[in-house]
Structure 1
Amino acid sequence: MDVKQLQTFIVLARLLNFRAAAEELNYSQSTVSDHIKNLEQELGVRLFERLGKKVFLNEEGKKLISPARKMLQDTEAIHELFNKGEKVHGSLRIGAAETLCAFWLPPLLREYSKLHPRVRITMKMADCLELPELLEKNIIDVAFGLHDESKRKDLFQIDVFDDFTAFIASPDHPFSTLNKININKLENQSFILIESESGYCMELKKLFQKLNVRVDTIMELGSIEAIKQCVKEGLGISLLPRIAVDKEIKNGELVMLPIETDNILIHAKMLYHANKWISAPLEALKDIVLLKKYGEVSS
């Protein structure tokens, strides 16, 4: 059975669009069609239903998903057996929360690319709660998020680092010159927070509820950069990871408010599926992460 046909099938089953599959695989659309046609002829079944311009995975196609993924992983494992003496090469698909994607991963990946220039890296930014599903569907090989998934037995989780958060405001905000701010002073203030159902923003909302602090409005945006711009314009206060705002605080575009409360931390995690074949590129990434955290590599 042609491995390339199975790879095409997996991508098309996920995207359900021949053009999008061709773009991701760097094939022509006719090549994608030929791969699927030849695979269907070999198996003697239809794998997709084509209704007009729409494509649907049928029951026969759904049955092929799991064995096709396993066969691709087995093929990759076989190649690894005979490439031990060569430099690490292949592909690595990474999913990450915006905070880590924008402010922590770039220097780590720069170091990784210097060590392993033959690895092709693709990045996908996603909400923390989406990352487990992306791993489960084999859309990504590894994830970096801020949500604790330790209760899930199907995921391996490595704690990467902890960082502080900071309450921020514009330099013109009335609170910007205060030396101490009781958290009750936040009553009736406007807040601009990241859209998320987990992590530090949820911790802040829980804190407000616990202390019965009623804020005026909470504007939720999907981008940290958008939040920072709104805060600079004086539209409200925000809580963001320190790594995301250090630059603006240092150059005076934002100020950190001295709110008297326990620090709300972020906890960065590296995640990969328990059944995932640990390829050489993934193993090399894991080694760099562990080296930065503990000064040792994985065994």
Structure 2
Amino acid sequence: MELRGLRTFRTIIEEGGFSKAAEKLNYTQSTITFQMKQLERDLSTILFEKIGRKMVLTKAGEHLIPYVDEVLQSVDKLSFLGEHLSECPGDIQIGIGESLLCYKLPAILKEFHKQAPKARLFLRSMNCYDIRDELFSGRLDLGVFYEDVGGFGSNLTVKRLEDYPVVLVASPKIKNRYPDFVTPDRTIPAPLIINEPNCIFRQIFEQYLRDKSIILDHTIELWSIPTIKNLVKNDVGVSFLPEFTVKEELNRGELEKIPTDISGTNITAVCAHHKNKWISPLMQLFLDLCDSFSCGAGR
């Protein structure tokens, strides 16, 4: 039984199919099929069966997963045996919320590469719900996101990092024009400039608008917080963002806070991993840095 066959098997599970696993591993699909046939011969069982056009795990294949995970984790542990962090090679897949990646993680990433220069961090700017789901599936080693998504169950080990206030902001001109977001049953002819619908702070503010029966003109949906801030500074509309993302603009007077009945609301950053994930020295380093930096607070 070859180790690469076990790794290929696990990649098929993580990626959801033979073709995606082939793409991830840079193999041809025929190579993937050959390795799985060989693994089935070695184990004297059928791991996949074809249903329609899809290859689906059999019960034997499902039962094999925890054993494969145990073998691969043991191999990973051996690869770090006797290695100092500065000499440790290895890859870590990390999903990070865009606001945290842009404004809070750079100092942590810099220190990580300083202490483990041979390691490779594969970073993905992701929606918090997607981070949670990919931690469940094992596609990510670690996630840094907002715990407000909830739904962790008992499958994730979650470390709280820090609470961050969220604020409604506008340019001085727009705030002067529309200073009241407290009085209910109003129509305000200004757009909300914000991230995509599953953004945590967007959901908080849109629920507030529904509760207050406040109607804004329309929504401008963008992925980039720097772009959102630039439009808000240039009198295009208002936005509801973590305060740390607009701290400099508030200090310079380019943006101002608009009072709401949810002023003082916080969202909580966390670092999480699957409860069954073996914590390699490189993963532990990243977790420790997140804890010591509190995602950049005070540094």
Contact 1:135–1:143 at 8 Å: present in 2 too? yes
Preserved CA contact (<8 Å) 2:135 2:273: yes
Report the equivalent of 1:57: 56
The residue identity in structure 2 corresponding to 1:276 is K
Q: CA RMSD in A?
A: 3.5
Paired with 2:281 and 2:131, the residues of 1 have a C-alpha distance of 22
Alignment partner of 1:77 is 2:87: no
Q: How many angstroms does 1:281 deviate by?
A: 0.8
Does residue 274 of the first structure (1) align with residue 278 of the second (2)?
Answer: no
Match of 2:291 in 1: 290
Distance 1:30 1:272, change over 3 A: same
1:123 aligns with 2:123: yes
Amino acid at match of 1:161: E
Q: Distance in 2 between matches of 1:194 and 1:230?
A: 13
Give the aligned partner of residue 90 of structure 1: 90
Contact 1:88 1:119 in 2 (8 A): yes
Give 1:193's aligned amino acid: I
The answer to whether the 8 Å contact 1:49/1:57 transfers is yes
Any unmatched runs of 5+ in structure 1?
A: none
Alignment of 1:40 with 2:9, yes or no, is no
Query: What letter matches 2:69 in structure 1?
Result: R
Distance, in Å, in 1 between the alignment partners of 2:85 and 2:247 is 43
Letter in 1 for 2:119: V
Q: Structure 1 130/151 Cα, relative in aligned 2: closer, same or farther at 3 Å? A: closer
Determine the C-alpha separation between the residues in 2 that align with 1:118 and 1:207: 47
SS at match of 1:188: strand
Question: Cα offset for 1:37?
Answer: 3.0
Inter-partner Cα distance in structure 1 for 2:102 and 2:50: 39
Structure-2 separation of matches of 1:256 and 1:82: 54
Residue 120 of structure 1: CA displacement? 1.5
The alignment partner of 2:55 has SS state of strand
TM-score (norm 2): 0.79
CA distance in 1, matches of 2:248, 2:33: 49
Q: Which residue of 1 aligns with 2:107?
A: 107
Cα 1:47/1:256, change in 2 over 3 Å? farther
- Cα distance between partner residues in 1 of 2:81 and 2:99: 36
Q: Distance in 2 between matches of 1:197 and 1:61?
A: 34
Aligned AA (1:208): L
- Native 8 Å contact 1:8 1:32 kept in 2: yes
Aligned match of 1:245: 246
**Offset at 1:142?**
1.0
Tell me the equivalent position of 2:158: 157
C-alpha change, 1:177 and 1:191, in structure 2 (3 Å) is closer
Q: Distance in 1 between matches of 2:277 and 2:78?
A: 15
Q: Relative to 1, partners in 2 of residues 1:46 and 1:231: Cα closer, same or farther, differing over 3 Å?
A: farther
Distance 1:231 1:61, change over 3 A: farther
Q: State the percentage of identical aligned residues.
A: 25
Aligned to 1:195: 196
Match of 1:223 in 2: 223
Q: Which one-letter code corresponds to 2:90 in the other structure?
A: G
- Label 1:117 to 1:158 Cα distance change in 2 as closer, same or farther (>3 A): same
Cα distance change, pair 63–218 in 1 and its aligned pair in 2 (3 A): farther
CA-CA distance at 1:110 after TM superposition: 2.0
Q: TM-score, normalised by structure 1?
A: 0.79
Q: Number of aligned pairs?
A: 290
Report which stretch shifted further, 266-275 or 183-192.
Answer: 183-192
Distance 1:70 1:118 in 2: 25
- Structure 1 residues 87 and 31, CA gap change in structure 2 (3 angstroms): same
Written as runs of structure 1 = structure 2, the 5 A alignment for 1:161-172 is: 161-170=162-171, 172=173
Equivalent pair of 2:194/2:228 in contact (CA under 8 Å): yes
Q: Secondary structure at the match of 1:215?
A: strand
The Cα offsets for residues 186-207 of structure 1, whole Å up to 9 and x where unpaired, read as 9322323333457333332343
Task: Measure how far apart 1:112 and its partner are.
Answer: 0.7
